[in-house]
Structure 1
Amino acid sequence: MIDAVVEERADRVAGREFSRAVPGLLVLSLALAVGFAQMGSFSTVQEGAKAELGLSDVTLGLIQGVSAAVPLVLFSIPIGILVDRWNRMRLMLLFAVLSVGGSLLTALAANVPSLFVARMMTGIATTGGLTAALSLAADMCAPAQRGRAMLLVTLGKSLGIACAFALVGWLFGLFAAGFSLFEGGLPWREAHLALAAIAGLASLPLLLLAEPARREVADGPRAAFRGVADQLWARRAFLIPLFLGQVSVVMADAAAGIWAAPMLTRYFALTPQQFGGWMGALLLGTGILGALLGGMVADLGQKSGRRGGLLIGAVAAAAIGVPAALFPLSGSIPVFALALGTLMLAGTITGLITSVAITVMLPNELRGLCLGAFIAFAGLVGYGIAPPLVGWVSLLLGGEQHLAAGLTIVGVATSIAALCAFSVAMRRAPFTPTVRAQPKPIR
């Protein structure tokens, strides 16, 4: 009876604490929406750049994928270490400035190298901001509330991905219809110029947030890096399959997100202004639903008392993603949209649950580093390999006319790999965030 009263009181305190954290979480959500809109903006209008600059599909895949992957591999882990040891709000402001600069450079890029650098800037800024935002969100509320906290942050990411289609598609249509910011400007360039201005204004609320205190600290933010490395190594049986699962999901989602617009243009003869609105609504809807489901399932999984229960939703979502990855073979736009939306829904769920798992199952001084490492590996494999891999598989099948088959092969294979990896991670999950030695996995 006493235990029940104590637990109920703790729940009320955590609930009040979460309510106070909501405004700050919403500001972080808006910042991520701005970042991901800029990161995904080029995909929506890339056919315009292809026509102007004479780019091939492989070159587009390299610009979209490798330009995001290379800097992520080089900078994500150092950024993660900074997140664990430095003022995270200052980092968020720095990333906002870098992302706006990347959009401006995209609008002005005259060749492939400058376009590559521009997309690289938005990739570094957005994924670095994601690492900092997840760490901040975790410290704004208690562990039992983190599914809901990550839900709000993930909604911002989903909104940004949707805006990359809806807002950028609308801007493209506006400038294609005759409205112009400067003489001789092409629609895809002017859309990025306008997006940079919007993003700069939308980032201003970050100035209102203060750095929160860090929670669940084992050795502290000033811990020697050797000690941090030892802690990571002690958790390798859990972290390696968790890494592989989320990286595989990112591969499927990155390939689908980057090649969906060209698929609609080539196979269904749609223009960006024709599909931008409903694609944006689709991705926003699945992002919101995925965040709600992922947050609720993560919190319920923690309450189940089962080892690795937090990851039950990730395993289920990865399983749903396998048939959904067949969307390129659909013969109609409604089926295409339904299957693509299901794939993105599954990806949102696994991404949120993975983030919650890191903030709940690892001590504070490992979170930024692990999030950065996740982003680095996901960037290298997911963005650096998956998009151009689709182009290469298409060429092996006979040419660019086989884009649908190439995209299907990559999507299904990576979805199956994610299902297997998350299942292993669930069986090897740690029981508490600060324990170093891991018990043998349940077989």
Structure 2
Amino acid sequence: MATPIIVPSDTTGAGADPIRRTAWRAVLLTSLVVMMAGMVRLAFSPVQEAAKLELGLTDYEISLIQGIAAALPLAVIAIPLGWLTDHSKRTRIMLVLGLCWTVGMIWTAFATNFETLFLARMLAGLGTMSLVPVAISVLSDLSAPQQRGRAMLFLGMGNTLGPALAFVLGGVLFTAFAADLSLPGVSLSPWREASLVFGVASAVTLLLLVLIREPERHEVENASNSLKAVVQALLKRWKFLLPLFVGQISVIMADAAAGVWAVPVMQRDLGLSIGQAGGILGGILLVAGVLGPVMAGFIADFGHKSSIRGGILIGAVIASAIGVPTALFPIVSTVPAFTAVLFVLLLAGSMTGLITATAIAVLVPNEERGICLGAFMILGALIGLGLSPVLVTLGSKALGGESHLAMALAIVGVVVGLISLAGFALAMLNAPVKAKA
């Protein structure tokens, strides 16, 4: 058994830099677990059309499975989970969440109707979408404030590379299982076998968690465990946090809608196969998942060092502005142009996510981050992830039916893009004058 990584408690001693020498390995391992969670979170998306056909589902039912299924339970546990993140062993929380999404992914492969598939994706989403705030709290204590943007870029890369690999591998696995490949001792339809592979891979990846030990907490302003005191402290920052949440949740809405419906649009309107559509979206997410966090990490650190109030968010303002016109990607009629415009949209989205996480990690005291992120999880789940796929299907219905999916997706994307731009701009104007160090 490998020796667990020991995170040093003293990061300020003279001479050697213990954070760079040891804790960066823990950052990388945590990011790998986050990447696996991202894969499981969207592993159903590339094969959802095949599942829809086999189980006789509608677009509306798919939107409930892809959105509300994970949003509702996450909204219930978000605040308690945030409090536990601030006051208990975070690595243990990560392991429990990992077990949830692994069981949910394996259950997905054996779902027989809408109800069982809904419950399976609910369990998978509960685990995967709850992980990132816990991981942000861990990484905040694995890195010095002046290096936090660069540390967070690894988490951002994992969180975006995971979905990218979900589409690439999902498309490849589905194509292979639809041809002549089959799992030993298993006789399932191609989309089910692909789901099972993701579930087994997730179980193996969870072994990485035993290599990470709980880091010591730093930058604690108030040692009180009172939930009321923490909430009151956050409310004092509402002029900054509320528009920040609005900005990032609106970006989540655009990205979530694209993640759920881009592949069906490519299949229905551009005539691509599951493998082709999944490969294109996966490739886009793969490049954006590397480039976006790298750019955002350095931009966030540069902005934070500037004399501009809220400078850490300047990259998010620019990226959200770019996201408004690129939200029109669903109505682009050629595959190359569709791919290019969607790439820019998702690149901008990956940048704002990393910058928002860094802003919270730098501008919010340690003992308030978990609750802050918990509140963000509730709004992000219910509105960002839960509502946007449903809004698209309701929009297509209002326009005349499922054949109008592309136009509905474009309209939702542009509207939430404008809202995100306004939110980030206000958050920047109301950011704390001095960061908490």
Category of TM-score, reference length = shorter chain: over 0.9
The alignment status of 1:90 with 2:92, answered yes or no, reads yes
Q: How far apart, CA to CA, are the structure 2 residues paired with 1:184 and 1:200?
A: 21
Mapped contact 1:14–1:145 kept (Cα < 8 A): no
**Structure 1 CA distance for aligned equivalents of residues 254 and 68 of structure 2:** 16
Identity of aligned residues (%): 46
Distance 1:307-1:36 versus aligned 2 partners, 3 A rule: same
- Contact 2:362–2:436, Cα closer than 8 Å, also in 1: no
Match of 1:73 in 2: 75
**Paired residues for 1:335-350 under 5 Å:** 335-350=337-352
Contact 1:14 1:141 in 2 (8 A): no
Report how far residue 434 of structure 1 moved.
5.4
Distance, in Å, in 1 between the alignment partners of 2:21 and 2:82 is 27
Determine whether 1:277 maps to 2:285.
no
CA contact (8 A) 1:132 1:368 kept: yes
Q: Which residue among 197, 209, 214 is the counterpart of 2:217?
A: 214
Query: For the residues of structure 2 that align with 1:167 and 1:267, how far apart are their CA atoms?
Result: 23
Q: Determine whether 1:296 maps to 2:277.
A: no
**Which of the residues 175, 193, 203 maps onto 1:190?**
193
Asked if the contact 2:178–2:190 (Cα under 8 Å) also holds between the matched residues in 1, the reply is yes
Structure 1's unaligned 5+ residue stretches are 1-9, 436-443
Counterpart residue identity of residue 178, structure 1:
D
Kept in 2: contact 1:361–1:431 (CA 8 A): no
Give the corresponding residue for 1:386: 388
Gaps of 5+ in 2: 1-11
Alignment partners' CA distance in 1, 2:313 and 2:282: 28
| Partner SS, residue 203 of structure 1 | helix
2:4 counterpart residue number: none
Deviation by residue 1:84-107 (Cα, 9 ceiling, x = unmatched): 111001111111111110101100
Counterparts of residues 254-403 of structure 1 (less than 5 Å): 254-403=256-405
Aligned amino acid, residue 219 of structure 1: N
Measured in 1, the distance between the counterparts of 2:123 and 2:344 equals: 30
CA deviation map 1:239-286 (0-9, x unaligned): 110110011000111001100110111112212222323321221101
The corresponding residue for 2:232 is 230
Give the structure 1 partner of residue 3 of structure 2. Answer: none
- 1:339-375 deviation per Cα after TM superposition (whole angstroms, max 9, x unaligned): 1111111111111010011110011111111112112
Deviations 1:297-356 (A, max 9, x none): 000011102210000000000001011101001111111111111111111111101001
State the TM-score, normalized to the length of structure 1.
0.93
**Secondary structure of the structure 1 residue equivalent to 2:44:** helix
**Aligned counterparts of 1:69 and 1:198: Cα–Cα separation in 2:** 24
- Match in the other structure for 1:252: 254
Aligned length: 425
Instruction: Judge conservation of contact 1:75–1:124 (CA < 8 Å) in 2.
Output: no
Q: Is the 8 A contact 2:230 2:371 kept in 1?
A: no
Rounded to whole Å, the distance in 1 between the matches of 2:116 and 2:433 is: 48
**Distance 1:433-1:369 versus aligned 2 partners, 3 A rule:** farther
In 2 relative to 1, CA 19–249 (structure 1 residues): closer, same or farther, beyond 3 Å? farther
Structure 2-normalised TM-score?
0.94
Greater shift, 69-78 or 341-350, is seen at: 69-78
Q: What's the CA shift for 1:11?
A: 13
Q: Could you list the runs of 4 or more consecutive aligned residues of structure 1 that deviate by over 3 angstroms after TM superposition? A: 10-16, 432-435
